[in-house]
């Protein structure tokens, strides 16, 4: 079986001590590709590190973008730095994670909304798909994405808009995003006992729109909840979700892997 972890943070300091082993363990577990997501201060060195990590390992790619937590740090200088990094490596395949987080409110909501829109337009210009983060802001997220991607054909400069990561919304939200062309990615929290709402949303996502992710080092799936998460653990989420769909794990693994590779137009290196 082969899997893809569509969203991980292996460039983070939590993996500085054993990143080689983490990547090897993922490979041994059948995780054939990983999309790292760079985050942090766009005026510092965090994003350069994300590119370095992707450049170092085969089948590890990265996205770059300013997280809603850090929206207040976004300005022209930050944007130019990110664009330069995007152009520096073929391993940068998406812009994100971007979006809205009204749960933590680490940046003022106005700034989050502004910077979300601005980064969508930059990603469109670069013809990069976007990775969306949305927490306690689903209505605004859907409204902005509908405006940016739903209006006219002329606006559809990005062939497939992107990925809704760590889906935590309602079935209606999943429907709306899929209509705009987004793929829906589920993380380890779908395995949590109380997450019946997530499982109900997952059930309406057809297999050809589905992705799986770890969002590591966070959201470790059952039965390892409490431990540090890492890409090899995406296998547990895949097995669990296959149960939700009532299909063999092989089918779910194959579908989610194919979706990812097709979406980004990638071939796996042996």
Point out which residues bind Zn ion (CB under 5 A): 37, 97, 133, 215
Closer CB to Zn ion, 167 or 245, in the complex: 167
Q: Compute the distance between CA of residue 81 and CA of residue 55 in angstroms, rounded to an integer.
A: 18
Q: Scanning the structure block, which residue is given the tokens 């992707």?
A: 54
Helix (H, G, I), strand (E, B) or coil at 134: strand
Report residue 223 as tokens.
């039965």
Least gap, CB of 134 to Zn ion (angstroms): 8
By the 10 Å C-beta count (0-12 exposed, 13-18 middle, 19+ buried), 152 is classed as exposed
Q: Is the separation of the CB atoms in 111 and 71 below 8 Å?
A: yes
Q: Is the separation of the CB atoms in 201 and 169 below 8 Å?
A: yes
Least gap, CB of 151 to Zn ion (angstroms): 26
Closer CB to Zn ion, 32 or 37, in the complex: 37
Q: Which of 15, 20, 57 is nearest to 35 (CA)?
A: 57
Q: Is the separation of the CB atoms in 15 and 50 below 8 Å?
A: no
Closer CB to Zn ion, 37 or 73, in the complex: 37
Least gap, CB of 51 to Zn ion (angstroms): 17
The residue number whose beta carbon is nearest to Zn ion equals: 133
Least gap, CB of 221 to Zn ion (angstroms): 15
Closer CB to Zn ion, 11 or 215, in the complex: 215
Beta bridge partners of 208: none
Least gap, CB of 122 to Zn ion (angstroms): 19
Closer CB to Zn ion, 29 or 68, in the complex: 68
């Amino acid at each position: 079986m082969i899997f893809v972890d569509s969203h991980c943070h292996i460039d983070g300091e939590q993996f500085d001590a054993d990143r080689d082993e983490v990547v090897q363990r993922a490979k041994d577990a059948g995780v054939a590709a990983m999309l790292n997501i760079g985050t942090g201060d766009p005026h510092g060195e965090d994003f350069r590190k994300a590119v370095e990590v992707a450049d170092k390992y085969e089948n590890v790619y990265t996205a770059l973008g300013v997280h809603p937590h850090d929206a207040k740090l976004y300005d022209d200088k930050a944007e130019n730095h990110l664009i330069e990094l995007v152009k520096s490596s073929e391993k940068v395949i998406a812009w994100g994670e971007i979006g809205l987080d009204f749960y933590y409110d680490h940046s003022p909501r106005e700034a989050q909304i502004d910077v979300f829109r601005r980064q969508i337009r930059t990603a469109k210009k670069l013809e990069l798909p976007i990775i969306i983060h949305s927490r306690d802001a689903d209505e605004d997220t859907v409204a902005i994405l509908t405006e940016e991607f739903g209006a006219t054909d002329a606006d559809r400069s990005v062939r497939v808009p992107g990925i809704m990561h760590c889906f935590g919304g309602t079935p209606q939200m999943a429907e709306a995003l899929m209509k705009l062309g987004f793929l829906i990615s589920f993380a380890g929290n779908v395995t949590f006992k109380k997450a019946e709402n997530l499982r109900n949303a997952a059930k309406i996502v057809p297999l050809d729109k589905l992705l799986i992710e770890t969002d590591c080092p966070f959201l470790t799936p059952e039965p390892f909840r409490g431990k540090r998460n890492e890409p090899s653990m995406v296998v547990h989420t895949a097995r669990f979700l296959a149960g939700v769909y009532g299909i063999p794990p092989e089918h779910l693994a194959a579908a989610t892997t194919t979706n990812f590779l097709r979406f980004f137009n990638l071939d796996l290196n042996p």
